[in-house]
Structure 1
Amino acid sequence: MTRVLVVDDSRFMRTVIGNALTEAGYDVETATNGSDAIETAVASDPDIITMDVEMPELGGIDAVERIMARNPTLILMLSVHTDRGTEATLDALERGAVDFLHKPDGSDSRTVTHLIDDVVEKVAELANANVSSAALARATASAYAARSESARTRSLDRSQSRPKTTERAVVGAGRGARGDTETSAGSTTVQPGGPSLESRTEVESERPSGTVGDEQPVDLGGCADNPTVVLGASTGGPKIVERVFERLPADLDAKVLVVQHMPSGFTERFADRLDAHSQYDVSEAADGDAIRPGEAAVAPGGAHLEVVSNIGGRLRLRLDDGDRIHGVRPAIDVTMRTAARHVDDPLCGVVLTGMGRDGAAGIEAIKAAGGRTIAQDEATSPVFGIPRQAIQTGCVDDIAPAPKLVETIVGAFDTEGETDD
């Protein structure tokens, strides 16, 4: 029986969530704060933990970091939808939590009943996912610590490279409708095969993957002009996407579109974090934006992100609040399909960790349009659903571990050795 640890300083929340999970057939333990959670996690070895973000004595962020360092576990964060709660939730994801749900706070129609239903559904998805404990361990607090240690070095390097652009070509500032959360599902059981796989040496080492302190600059070689990259991710994705942006070389001069399954409010803060850790100018996409080389746009929660033209080296974007696809909005498929339709410059589609099959049709479209396609490998994907579904289409060119994603993306635009024949 799947064991679930429910951590919340509210007795009411512990009771209603615990009862719902018990009725759903799970073996439930509870804890009142982060310190209690650490002790209970050691004693009961839960398969999944639901963790409140803000608690007395020891909060959820620190508890996640300590639990992941000692006993990597699937952790689902529960957070109020405030600026402080949003930032704390993203911090928890950076330290190793795989997903989050926001608690009702009176700002919309969301109720405790909605939260309970979502918790039961999300726990079921996580329980059915083929999750590697080793992959989880490599995406935890040690990577966060490595980032802190190398922050000064990266800051110096950034100051010596070309500055970020200070202007954006914005045609419209309107926003699509917001307020949706992700409710996708998927599981994995197969071993990838067929496309080329990058070396697993670094993945199999004891040092956590995704750490930045000892990674070397990426060699560009001969790269194509005006490259475009579309990144799609879901559960477990934010920390992987952040590490891609940390190492993505400015000299690649790519236009980058990011679709991360995440609700409204969180995507803007997520874009700010990517901007702070990257040499690219990153922002949440607005309707009518024109993205230039060296810039990146994050699809806003609650709206599909479409590419409507590629003229003069600029991608023109549109937001659409139409129906959910695969139960989500934004959907990876929408952005990849429209990019495949309108981008006639070099194009690369990348699917990362997550549940469900969103992105598989997009990868097919990019491949059919002559672009390159990449999927994160199973060993470093906290949840291998999205990459697995893409690989099964037969349209993935390369399967890469998390630490080699940037090299693989750059390699997709390598023109050395090409001829006009």
Structure 2
Amino acid sequence: MTVHVPIMASSRSEDGVVRTLIVDDSVVVRTVIERILNADPGFSVIHKTNSAEQALGYLSEHAVDLVLLDIELPGQSGLMALPAILRASPRTKVAILSGNCEEGSVAAVEALALGASDILAKPGSGSFGEQFPPALIERLSRLFNGAATPIAVRSSVPIAPEQAAELACLGIGASTGGIHALGRLFAGLSAPLGVPILLTQHLPASFTSYFAQQLGRMTFLPVKVAEQGEILVPDTVYVAPGDASLRLRRGLHDRVFVMLDPQPTSAGNLPGVDPMFASMAQAYGAAAAGVVLTGMGRDGTAGARDIVAAGGWIVAQDQPSSVVWGMPGSIAGEGLHCALLEPHAIMDFVARRGKNRN
């Protein structure tokens, strides 16, 4: 059976234009951003404001696809307002546009953890160069491209629970929107799984340490950045560093070691989900399982094939809850999944299936 669903969960106006709300304390910045977006046929600025309170008031009465949100605002800050904005307009994507929220900063990771879809560095009000307008349009378009493109979702892999090996290792891959999804996923973990958990989240190297700290606040499990040569132990979350893929090697006495690979994948991902999944299939065979969360592209699909071929199984995030249904949508398009679930339901499913209970 094949079902066609949209590749992304974004809601646009009927004409396909991204309705945009700009929230920035600078009238110059608001004006410049408005001109840039309105010059592109894919975007329309429908409102501008300088405060989070006014933005929330507008969202209570109007539909918006995208909010460009500054961090430094009079009154309530952008970070403080972000959860309320997402509650007021759940299908709206929020991109942080701030000069004080650069990639790798504490504020950037916190914004992503709270549910922001992307982080964009804002030039000073007097330094908007020729490169900024096309870069801004390209970056924002990534969040919405393909919204109307159907993807064929094949039937899930028919592996009966009683035929599956007991779970020995769980791998999780995520990209755009992944930090928020991970918070939901680990909130659904009610008890230890008894296995090591590997995690590859597409982030620059400068993010990794603080990201691991943030993740540690989302779960009762210990979280650490993976180190070369360390032995995997159960109920620990190993985060791939930003400059290497997390691979595994089975050594003496059947122990499994971390092997960090600094080479980007063929698609340019570093760290990559594909190498992590592939090495899990080699090290654990049918006892390996993977989870693919929201993200652009197809990273994780090739590795998922290896896990499934070895007798393991894959769970993918469902389309309605994904910021971008690229990575999980690719899994679904190839029929590699055994389930499509929203993040909060995934760990319960993993716990039951991993113990041969479904």
Quickly name the TM-score band, shorter chain normalised. 0.7 to 0.9
**C-alpha distance after superposition, 1:309-351 (max 9, x if no partner):** 4655644223333335435322211211222233347100111
Kindly state the Cα deviation for residue 94 of structure 1 after the two structures are TM-superposed. Answer: 4.0
Q: Structure 2 CA distance, aligned partners of 1:311 and 1:280? A: 27
Contact 1:53 1:85 in 2 (8 A): no
Match of 2:155 among 182, 186, 194: 194
Contact 1:246 1:279 in 2 (8 A): no
Q: Structure 2 CA distance, aligned partners of 1:259 and 1:124? A: 24
Unpaired runs of at least 5, structure 1: 106-110, 131-186, 198-222
Q: Structure 2 CA distance, aligned partners of 1:95 and 1:355? A: 19
Q: Which residue of 1 aligns with 2:111?
A: 92
- Cα 1:277–1:310 shift into 2, 3 Å: farther
Kindly state the Cα deviation for residue 364 of structure 1 after the two structures are TM-superposed. Answer: 0.8
Unpaired runs of at least 5, structure 2: 1-16, 159-163
Kindly state the Cα deviation for residue 68 of structure 1 after the two structures are TM-superposed. Answer: 1.9
Q: In the alignment, residue 390 of structure 1 is paired with which amino acid?
A: I
- Cα 1:101–1:68 shift into 2, 3 Å: same
Q: Structure 1 CA distance, aligned partners of 2:195 and 2:297? A: 28
- Cα 1:306–1:362 shift into 2, 3 Å: same
**RMSD value, Cα:** 3.4
Contact 2:293 2:317 in 1 (8 A): yes
> Could you state the TM-score of these two structures normalised by the residue count of structure 2?
0.79
Tell me, yes or no, if structure 1 residue 350 matches structure 2 residue 291. yes
- Cα 1:391–1:63 shift into 2, 3 Å: same
Contact 1:358 1:386 in 2 (8 A): yes
Q: Which residue of 2 aligns with 1:127?
A: 144
Pick 1 or 2: higher relative contact order, CA cutoff 8 A, min separation 6: 2
**Pairing 1:1-400 to 2, within 5 Å after superposition:** 1-25=17-41, 26-28=43-45, 29-42=47-60, 45-72=63-90, 73-79=92-98, 86-102=105-121, 116-130=133-147, 189-190=150-151, 192-195=153-156, 227-248=168-189, 250-309=191-250, 312=253, 314-323=255-264, 325-344=266-285, 346-400=287-341
Identical-pair percentage: 31
Q: Structure 1 CA distance, aligned partners of 2:132 and 2:208? A: 20
**C-alpha distance after superposition, 1:189-212 (max 9, x if no partner):** 346441279xxxxxxxxxxxxxxx
- Cα 1:63–1:249 shift into 2, 3 Å: closer
- Cα 1:276–1:224 shift into 2, 3 Å: farther
> Could you state the TM-score of these two structures normalised by the residue count of structure 1?
0.68
- Cα 1:85–1:233 shift into 2, 3 Å: closer
Residue aligned with 1:397, SS: strand
Kindly state the Cα deviation for residue 74 of structure 1 after the two structures are TM-superposed. Answer: 1.0
Kindly state the Cα deviation for residue 48 of structure 1 after the two structures are TM-superposed. Answer: 1.0
Match of 1:410 among 336, 348, 351: 351
Q: Structure 1 CA distance, aligned partners of 2:255 and 2:98? A: 37
